[in-house]
Amino acid sequence: MAASLICGRLTASLRNSGAKTTIASASKVLGVSSGLLGCHGSQQHQQQRGLSLHEYMSIGLLKEAGIAVPDGMVASSSDEAYSDLVVKAQVLAGGRGKGTFEGGLKGGVKIVYSPEEARDISSQMIGRKLYTKQTGEAGRICNQVFICERRYPRREYYFAITMERSFQGPVLIGSSQGGVNIEDVAAESPDAIVKEPIDIVEGIKMEQAVKVAEKMGFPQPLVKEAAENMIKLYNVFMKYDASMLEINPMVEDSSGIVMCMDAKINFDSNAAYRQQKVFDLQDWTQEDPRDRQAAKADLNYIGLDGTIGCLVNGAGLAMATMDIIKLHGGTPANFLDVGGGATAHQVTEAFKLITSDRKVQAILVNIFGGIMRCDVIAQGIIMAVTDLDLKIPIVVRLQGTRVDDAKALIAASPLKILACDDLDEAAKMVTRARTHTHTHTHTHTHTHTHTHTHTHTHIYSTEVNETSGSTVMEHGRGSQMFRVRID
């Protein structure tokens, strides 16, 4: 997955922007998640930008294409891992070799010398979380290990194919320095990186593959074989609508052949409709449950660390909404784009997704109805609040198509939802609104204990004082109503 970073640095070089291109800017150029490059920031969960398969599955695709790979098998229990081979933890994250398992085992790639050692190592991997530089504190559960034959390479190389916008198509990336942290190579020795853009229409040519193999430093007798492997890898890349294919390392084996010892392939999620066989292999145990829920509802969701849930249509408006919440001292709990054609059912699912995060204390709905109809959003909000019996403050800002119908629906409902036309004011309201819970306990020591818990979170009305600029919200029910002033 380092291919994106390398290509980003090369692109920066081509544009004479210097060697200080950051990972973040590289990811922007490539249109990929910075998580692929090992940078997560404060993000709790990564957006699912495409499908990633486990190593043994990717190796299987290469083998089907006639590419030389190590023989191996996958084991789901320590009893299956009995051969004198290499044991590799199967988690969808980079940096396995330097990771740490629950229980203290260091490294997710181990060479074993006896059946007993294979079983012992596997038992310390399977069913435990592996923590790497890419997973962060969350870690990734290891449910399987890949047991493959041990090979003895003479030399190791790096090879990858990725989509690069500046080239308007695929680019081959290679280096004579394989089997190491290729990001460090790209940063410290950019001249050691070879790149070759491929015409998306004409496809890869033998002379291009040969040129790359020679620049990577393959011995002359193996240049043609290496080039043939690169062509086969390119064909796999195109056949399965991959967005990235990485081999680290590609080796010159001691037996004198070129082999791919490892494989990471990322697939374009937009091709799921015609790559169903591949997408059926997705391992959801490697994903956050909310990511799966979002995928089922066709929602774009990223979980964050904050307390204010966001439901917005359009990625740009969603980011602007998150920014303005932050500007007023709040912290967004998520990025959630319902898209331009969301249904009332999708809006309900979006609310379920947001409220599944227990940190969420309030929700801001910000919809601009262009393609999207505001009345559909309003129906979804009413359905969600009713079905989920939500007790937290909800601020709704609607503008655009059928906005008057939407406001009428909300006003006619028995639900108490804060409506606001101004985004800045809506952000202030949702940032400062808090759930008010009052608990009162009476204890009768003679016969029994009786507990009364009263929770008042119903928002009845809101008004803005034009002179002071303060906001007053009324909460409660009947004689229990009270007013909250927000300056």
pLDDT at 11 over 50: no
Longest CA pairwise span in the chain (Å): 96
**In 190-241, at which residue ranges do the beta strands (DSSP E only) sit?**
193-197
161: nearest Cα among 185, 203, 197, 192: 197
- State residue 364's pLDDT score: 95
pLDDT value for 220: 95
Residue 155 marked ligand-binding: no
Site of tokens 């709040």: 330
| 24 pLDDT more than 90 | no
Given this model, what pLDDT does residue 40 score? 31
Angle formed by the axes of helices 374-388 and 403-412, nearest 10°: 20
Is 370 annotated as belonging to a binding site? yes
| Placement of tokens 């374009």 in the chain | 268
Give CA–CA dist 438/415, Å, rounded: 21
Q: Does residue 158 carry a catalytic annotation?
A: yes
Could you tell me which residues are beta bridge partners of residue 311? 365
Compute the mean pLDDT over every residue in the chain, rounded to the nearest whole number.
Answer: 77
- What letter does residue 106 receive in the DSSP assignment? B
Residues shown for the chain:
487
Instruction: For residue 385, give every residue at least 6 positions away whose Cβ sits within 8 Å of its Cβ, in sequence order, or none.
Output: 351, 394, 415, 417
Residue 228 has a pLDDT of: 97
Phi-psi map region of 246: left, alpha, beta (phi>0 left; psi -120 to 50 alpha):
beta
In this structure, are residues 142 and 91 in contact, taking their beta carbons and an 8 Å threshold? Answer: yes
Label residue 259 by pLDDT band (50, 70, 90). very high
d(CA 201, CA 204): 9
Model confidence, pTM: 0.61
Q: Give the residue from 152, 182, 145, 166 showing the smallest Cα distance to 13.
A: 166
- pLDDT tens track for 220-247: 999 999 999 999 999 999 999 999 999 9
Q: Say yes or no to pLDDT of 441 above 50.
A: no
CATH topology of domain 1-69+153-285: D-amino Acid Aminotransferase; Chain A, domain 1 (3.30.470)
Portion of the chain with pLDDT greater than 90, in percent: 33
Residue type, 15: R
From the list 164, 183, 246, 252, the catalytic residue is: 246
Query: Residue 145 and residue 125: Cα distance in Å, rounded?
Result: 8
If phi > 0 it is left, if psi is from -120 to 50 it is alpha, else beta; for residue 453 that is beta
> Which of the two residues, 398 and 73, has the higher pLDDT score?
398
96 is in an annotated binding site: yes
The pLDDT of residue 243: 94
pLDDT at 37: 30
248 is in an annotated binding site: yes
Which range has the worst mean pLDDT, 148-162, 279-293, 361-375? 279-293
Closest CA to 178 of 95, 248, 264, 252: 248
- What is 274-315 written as a DSSP string? G-HHHHTT--GGGS-HHHHHHHHTT-EEEE-S-SEEEEESSH
Tokens of 7: 């290509």
Q: How would you class 120 by CB atoms within 10 Å of its CB: exposed for 0-12, middle for 13-18, buried for 19 or more?
A: middle
289-437 homologous superfamily? Succinyl-CoA synthetase domains (3.40.50.261)
Give the lowest-confidence range in 33-42, 113-122, 372-381, 433-442: 33-42
Kindly name the residue from 131, 158, 234, 240 that is annotated as catalytic.
158
| CB distance 288 to 264 below 8 Å | no
Q: 190, 130 in Cβ contact below 8 A? A: no
CB contact at 8 A, 294 and 334: no
pLDDT given for residue 5 in this prediction: 43
pLDDT, average across residues 132-157:
85
Q: What's 432's DSSP letter?
A: H
User: Pairing relation of β-strands 362-369 and 394-400?
Assistant: parallel
Q: Percentage of the chain surpassing pLDDT 70?
A: 77
Task: Dig out the tokens for 107 from the structure.
Answer: 């490294």
- For residue 16, what pLDDT band results from cuts at 50, 70 and 90? very low
pLDDT band at 81 (very low <50, low <70, confident <90, very high): low
Tell me if 326 is assigned to a ligand binding site.
no
Q: In the structure, what pLDDT confidence band is assigned to residue 181 with cuts at 50, 70 and 90?
A: confident
Q: Please give the residue that has the higher pLDDT: either 157 or 449.
A: 157
d(C-alpha 258, C-alpha 23), whole Å: 31
HSE at residue 296, side-chain half, CA atoms within 13 A, is: 13
Three-class secondary structure of residue 24 per DSSP: helix
What is the pLDDT at residue 91?
79
306 is in an annotated binding site: no
User: pLDDT tier at 468 (50, 70, 90 boundaries)?
Assistant: very low
Q: Counting beta carbons within 10 angstroms of the beta carbon of residue 79, is it exposed (0 to 12), middle (13 to 18) or buried (19 or more)?
A: exposed
| 15 known ligand binder | no
The SS3 call for residue 261 is coil
Whole-angstrom distance, CA of residue 387 vs CA of residue 344? 12
What average pLDDT does range 428-446 have in this prediction? 55
The CATH-assigned architecture of domain 71-150 is 2-Layer Sandwich (3.30)
Query: How confident is residue 477, by pLDDT bands cut at 50, 70 and 90?
Result: very low
The response to whether 341 counts as a known ligand-binding position is: no
Cβ neighbours of 442 (radius 10 Å): 8
Question: For residue range 359-388, what is the model confidence (pLDDT) as tens digits?
Answer: 999 999 999 988 888 898 898 899 889 998
116: closest CA among 156, 81, 64? 81
pLDDT band of 49, cuts 50, 70, 90: low
Which pLDDT band, with edges at 50, 70 and 90, does 83 fall under?
low
Spans of all domains in the chain: 1-69+153-285, 71-150, 289-437
246 is catalytic: yes
